[in-house]
């Protein structure tokens, strides 16, 4: 007969991070709650108790599944942020020829991503861009080589014209997607644009790119 303490210990070892059945559902809900509260209040200011309360469990459950806040943040990156980039990368891989098609694929991919993860823009601004953000180091190591740097290399191999830098083009595309989504609540109030939502922002950005990149590509072709 197994000793109860040994049994509980073995269950903790087996189930932490790899739950089954309804346990997996609870773990997913805890990750979702963490993403929302980290985006709203910041990682440092969000306690495990706050996340647990959002799912109506005790903080002990977070320790049970993740071990602590550092492990929770790591799980958020590994299981929420990085997998969410896979469809964006797929859209880029299947983009048509030319800088405009590639830029449009990025915008559409990011629009879909923000639609599925509405907490992402605020989390990006708070925890990546701001000095001391809790996700900056992790995403610099894992996100930058995977998408922005690869995208810049593809733009560098295309005719952009003398006035467009492939690296700054990526910077601009990120700014045209995540920043407007993060600031949408402010602009709705400032301009009275209650209809300002993801599709409106996407269509405007695509129109803006169509004018700018199409003209640049045309000039580059004429120069060649």
Q: Which contacts of 74-80 are long-range, i.e. CB under 8 A and separated by 24 or more positions?
A: 74/138, 75/17, 75/31, 76/31, 76/34, 76/35, 76/38, 77/135, 77/138, 77/139, 77/142, 79/31, 80/31, 80/35, 80/117
Owner of token pair 């602590």: 68
Domain with CATH 1.10.10 in the chain: 1-67
What is the model's pLDDT at position 9? 36
> Where residue 8 falls among pLDDT bands split at 50, 70, 90?
very low
What is the model's pLDDT at position 193? 74
* Percent of the chain residues topping a pLDDT of 70: 83
CATH topology of domain 69-223: Tetracycline Repressor; domain 2 (1.10.357)
What is the model's pLDDT at position 161? 78
Q: Is the pLDDT of residue 162 over 90?
A: no
The reply to whether CATH 3.30.70 applies to domain 1-67 is no
> Where residue 172 falls among pLDDT bands split at 50, 70, 90?
very high
pLDDT in tens, 68-115: 999 999 999 999 999 999 999 999 999 988 899 999 999 999 999 999
Phi-psi label, residue 113: left if phi above 0, alpha if psi -120 to 50, beta otherwise: alpha
Mean pLDDT of the chain: 83
Neighbours of 202 (CB within 10 A): 22
What is the model's pLDDT at position 190? 83
**What are 55's two structure tokens?**
């799912």
pTM above 0.85, yes or no: no
Q: How far apart are CA 196 and CA 112, in angstroms?
A: 16
Instruction: Go through 172-194 and write b for each residue having 16 or more CB atoms within 10 A of its CB, e for each that does not.
Output: ebbebbbebbbbbeeeeeeeeee
What is the model's pLDDT at position 215? 55
What is the model's pLDDT at position 222? 46
> Where residue 214 falls among pLDDT bands split at 50, 70, 90?
low
Domain with CATH 1.10.357.10 in the chain: 69-223
């Amino acid at each position: 007969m197994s000793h109860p303490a040994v049994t509980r210990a073995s269950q903790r070892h087996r189930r932490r991070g790899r739950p089954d059945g309804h346990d997996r559902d609870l773990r997913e809900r805890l990750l979702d709650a963490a993403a929302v509260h980290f985006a709203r209040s910041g990682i440092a200011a969000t306690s495990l108790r706050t996340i647990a309360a959002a799912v109506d469990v005790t903080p002990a459950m977070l320790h049970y599944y993740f071990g602590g806040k550092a492990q929770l943040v790591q799980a958020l990156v590994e299981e929420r942020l990085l997998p969410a980039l896979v469809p964006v990368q797929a859209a880029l891989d299947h983009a048509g020829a030319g800088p405009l098609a590639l830029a449009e694929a990025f915008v559409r991919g990011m629009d879909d991503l923000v639609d599925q993860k509405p907490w992402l823009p605020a989390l990006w601004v708070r925890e990546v861009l701001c000095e001391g953000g809790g996700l900056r180091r992790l995403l610099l190591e894992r996100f930058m080589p995977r998408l922005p740097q690869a995208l810049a290399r593809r733009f560098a191999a295309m005719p952009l014209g003398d006035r467009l830098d492939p690296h700054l083009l990526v910077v601009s595309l990120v700014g045209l997607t995540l920043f407007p989504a993060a600031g949408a609540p402010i602009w709705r109030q400032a301009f009275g644009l209650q209809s300002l939502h993801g599709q409106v922002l996407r269509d405007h950005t695509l129109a803006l790119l169509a004018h700018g990149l199409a003209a640049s590509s045309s000039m580059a072709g004429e120069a060649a």
